[in-house]
Amino acid sequence: MPAIPPMDGNVNHAPHVVILGAGASIAAYLDWGSEGDELPSMQGLIDTIGLREDIENAGFEVVNLNFEAFYDELASSGEYPDLLSKIESKVYDYFSSLSLPEKPTIYDYLVLSLREKDIIATFNWDPFLLQAYMRNEGVAKGRRPQLAFLHGNVSIGICEKDKVSGVKGEVCSQCKQPLSPSRLLYPVKHKDYNSDPFIRGEWDALRTNLNYGYFLTVFGYSAPKTDIEARTLMLEVWEDNKSLELAEVEVIDIRPKEDVEDSWNEFIFSHHYMIVEDIFSSYLFTHPRRSCDAFSSATLMCSPWHDNPYPRFEELSELQEWVRPLIEEEQRYDKKKERFSGEPLQPNTGG
């Protein structure tokens, strides 16, 4: 018998795990109207970041150069340390300079769609997730999801001595020295998720939550079969999940359905999955902050809730006001064990 997730009435305490890949940031960037600096893909990285000249000056030809393969070769050969550090510092600086526009973005909706029991794990280096996390602190303080940066991140600072991580630019809570930039993990053929203590800790957080998770959403991450290390780390804890037979996998991906199924079939129990192209049609965004509760009501208690889809807002404050009643309901549950209503909010209470 599969283990029923930890429920209290209609409140489900099991984590919703969200995994983000490059496609999530690209979708967010397109959705906000492509304002601001271009978001580079791995294929376009060399030109967006202006690496062509550096690479050519070192004697390489930049025709159809695959950045990932090239970096992998360069790093594993051990030759050209100057070129390697030049590439790394340009990549770091470029991603550091990116920022969210003022209007609400997919990242804001995403941060507000989950509770503190949930986790967002990202493979992306860009600072969007942490920027969205920080600017929604006011409305959701103490009620935002955990974050994990699986390849490091340009917005994270660390103190190696005290094993403290935080926002780059802040000081270490222990020694009061400024946090130093965290390392970025590059997409080399054989990734080592163990050597960097910060990155290892982020993977531990993801794995713990996958092991107890009730809902897994994958957004813009293709889980390449070549990325054996990442797949194995995720799969071994997910397969060991005692509620796996009851859990649901949702993949948000614009690739053909067959390709998506092929990427994720090892993670899917029986027919328990959904694939959507647009995050605003996802279960997560049609049941913000209540995905696990609504899904267990529907599947375990035969008492489905109405969808409560996010309206689209022009101002971030409108989005935050719309979410507020859900957060207040969570506070009432914590204080008085008052169950969730399961009723949709007014479609548009914003300004």
Residues making contact with Zn ion (CB under 5 A): 159, 162, 172, 174-175
Count of alpha carbons within 13 Å of 217, Cβ hemisphere only? 27
Query: Shortest gap between Cβ of 170 and Zn ion (angstroms)?
Result: 11
Pair 12, 86: CB distance under 8 Å: no
In sequence order, the 6+-apart residues with CB closer than 8 A to the CB of 243 are 2, 3, 4, 5, 14, 212, 214
Q: Which two tokens stand for residue 277?
A: 């192209």
CB under 8 A, 24+ apart: contacts of 160-169: 160/197, 163/197, 165/198, 165/201, 167/130, 167/134
Rg of the chain, C-alpha, whole Å: 21
CA 272 from chain center: how many Å? Answer: 21
Query: Shortest gap between Cβ of 163 and Zn ion (angstroms)?
Result: 8
Q: Which two tokens stand for residue 216?
A: 């897994």
Secondary structure E strands in the chain: 7-8, 11-12, 16-20, 119-122, 146-149, 156-159, 164-167, 180-181, 215-219, 248-252, 273-276
Pair 121, 20: CB distance under 8 Å: yes
In sequence order, the 6+-apart residues with CB closer than 8 A to the CB of 81 are none
Please state, in angstroms and rounded to a whole number, the distance separating the CA atoms of residues 141 and 137.
Answer: 5
Query: Shortest gap between Cβ of 181 and Zn ion (angstroms)?
Result: 14
* Residue 172 vs 246, nearer CB to Zn ion: 172
* Residue 88 vs 196, nearer CB to Zn ion: 196
Query: Shortest gap between Cβ of 174 and Zn ion (angstroms)?
Result: 4
Q: In Å, how far are 26, 60, 220, 257, 344 from 276, measured between CA atoms?
A: 16, 41, 11, 9, 21
Query: Shortest gap between Cβ of 300 and Zn ion (angstroms)?
Result: 45
* Residue 81 vs 169, nearer CB to Zn ion: 169
* Residue 174 vs 331, nearer CB to Zn ion: 174
* Residue 176 vs 271, nearer CB to Zn ion: 176
Query: Shortest gap between Cβ of 166 and Zn ion (angstroms)?
Result: 10
Which is nearest to 272 in space by CA: 241, 307, 303?
A: 241
Query: Shortest gap between Cβ of 168 and Zn ion (angstroms)?
Result: 14
* Residue 16 vs 168, nearer CB to Zn ion: 168
* Residue 172 vs 218, nearer CB to Zn ion: 172
Query: Shortest gap between Cβ of 204 and Zn ion (angstroms)?
Result: 20
> Using CA of residue 264, residue 267, residue 272, residue 273, what is the dihedral sign?
negative
Query: What are residue 72's DSSP bridge partners?
Result: none
* Residue 159 vs 233, nearer CB to Zn ion: 159
Query: Shortest gap between Cβ of 180 and Zn ion (angstroms)?
Result: 10
Pair 103, 315: CB distance under 8 Å: yes
* Residue 162 vs 245, nearer CB to Zn ion: 162
